[in-house]
Amino acid sequence: MGLLVDLSTAVHSCCARSQAAIAILATLALAALLAGCGSSSALPPPPPAPTPVQVKVAPATASVAAGGAAVAFAAEVQNATNAGVTWQVNGAAGGNVTYGIISPSGSYSSPASVPSPPTVTVSAVSVQDPSRSATAQVTVLSALPPVNGSCGTANGVPVSIAPSTNLCSVGSPSPVSGTGPWTWNCAGSNAGSTASCAANLSGPITGRAVPAPIYGVTLDSLGNLSAELNSLQQMVHRPTARIVFDAGQPASAYLAPIQQLRTGSYIMGELADSSYMPGYTVASIASWAQSYAQTLGNNVDIWEIGNEVNGDWLGAATMAKVEAMYDAVASQGGITALTFYYEGEPSDPGNCIAATNGGNDMFTWINQNFQLNVAMPQRSAETEQIRQNLGYVLVSWYPDQCPGEDPDWPLVYTQLAAIFPNARVGFGELGTANPQNGSAYEVAEINQYYPLAKALPGLPPNYIGGYFWWYFAEEMVPWGTTVLSSTLNSAIQ
């Protein structure tokens, strides 16, 4: 029994040790296995966080007048598959009447009045991620003051092609139209006015050569244009129509009528009738003459740069005004005419000279204003240039206003030809103080003067006639209105 007990104990002790060893070995094997697996197949890292949506708005700031003025905003959305945005004004989708309305396309319209505070926030909110947005600040101002359009330096400057630069100094230019002259507008802003601008075709304005003798008539109104053209065409010799340019009328108003009338006559343009002269300053008449010369150009064959200039009703600075008109025309090659008012000679007992208010008899006025009593080197260079270069020197004569005078016309015109050596001489205006509608007096006057070149010996070779009956429009339009129509044609046969 004792031996058996000892063997059992021994076996139990041995088994216990073996089991412990096996457990240790199993643990080590499992650890080795786990270590081997970890080194050959690690778990993948987590994906990166998505890039946030970004929104940008332009412009970032703007100022706009109250009352519905508009500002266009644009939004840019980055890092998004949906680039759409919704628009808000001060947090309200689409805005409201208090702070302004904004359209789905980003066009902001200001409210009717300035809000408080005057600066509002325009927001563009991402459709894909409404937590992402961008903002712009809009300051709403009281109504802006009007800004008037103003022509640029291209206005009034003759050019060979249509102008394309310097059209407006203020405002937005319209398209340039025309073929010379060219016209365009400069539009103001904030209800400001629009300026009308023009540039003429550059080059000389010499017009056509007018053959002598000249058979002239005056049109002091163009209110019956087709009948006036017809009357001109009824004359047996092609006449020269003298057009009176009315004060206050733009040159453009005469362009189309003159283009029509010149199909039946030559054209003399009277820049300023003597009755209009007191209303001009030297500067204003210079601008006036420049505008007419540039606009009408060579549609006018002769330019009258002074009318009845020695009359006592013309006011101050007459010679300076004549110089200004001469410069405007002669600088572009135009043919000039200067008309004096004849009232007889101081030695004539029947003269009707009015020497008040700067007026004087014709030759005294010429001597004074052209400085003929001064040695040539001391004379004004300007007036001497006019004296030497006038194309025509003419005389206005109304015999019924000076009934006691019987002029010696060969002597008068010979003296004028000597003073103005390069000019042709003649009558620049003829008629009666008031229309007499074909009276015997008017018939006799036309029969006396229009044939003068053929009937009166002693006239200088450069005498060209002229005459320019003042009341042609009133007494011979339509043709045959009075007996003067047939009288005139008979006189110039």
pLDDT, position 10: 41
Q: Answer whether residue 204 is part of any domain.
A: no
Q: Domain range holding 465?
A: 214-491
Q: 407 versus 294: which is more confidently predicted?
A: 407
Chain segment 196-244, per-residue pLDDT in tens: 998 877 678 889 999 999 999 999 999 999 999 999 999 999 999 999 9
pLDDT of residue 156: 78
230 and 291 both lie in a single domain: yes
Mean local confidence (pLDDT), 329-341 = 94
Q: Which pLDDT value is given to residue 50? A: 84
pLDDT tens column, 2-42? 333 443 444 344 444 555 545 555 555 555 544 554 444 56
Residues 436, 380 share a domain: yes
Which structure tokens are listed for 144? Answer: 């802006």
Q: Is residue 1 part of a domain?
A: no
Looking at the domain assignment, is residue 40 inside a domain? no
207 within some domain:
no
- 448 and 423 in a common domain: yes
Q: What is the DSSP string of 419-454?
A: HSTT-EEEEEEE--SS--SS-HHHHHHHHHHTTHHH
Q: What percent of the chain has pLDDT over 90?
A: 77
429 lies in a domain? Answer: yes
- What's the CA gap between 274 and 295, in Å, rounded? 22
CATH number assigned to the domain comprising residue 112: 2.60.40.60
101 closest CA partner among 115, 87, 83: 87
What is the predicted pLDDT for the residue at 81? 94
Beta strands at 70-72 and 107-109: parallel, antiparallel or unpaired: antiparallel
What pLDDT score was predicted for residue 26?
Answer: 52
Q: Do 431 and 451 reside in the same domain of the chain?
A: yes
What CATH number did the domain enclosing 309 receive? 3.20.20.80
Nearest in space to 199 (alpha carbons), one of 170, 177, 174? 177
Q: pLDDT of 148-180, one tens digit each? A: 999 998 887 777 678 899 999 999 999 999 876
- pLDDT of residue 383 exceeding 60, the answer is yes
Tell me, yes or no, whether 407 and 465 share the same domain: yes
List Cα–Cα distances, 123 to 81, 130, 247, 452, in angstroms.
Answer: 20, 11, 60, 90
Which residue, among 90, 124, 91, has the nearest Cα to 107 in the 3D structure?
124
Q: 346 and 442 share a domain?
A: yes
Q: Name the domain boundary from 114, 141, 168.
A: 141
Residues 78, 178, single domain; the answer is no
Q: What is the mean pLDDT of the chain?
A: 90
Determine the pLDDT at residue 206. Answer: 83
Q: Do 194 and 68 reside in the same domain of the chain?
A: no
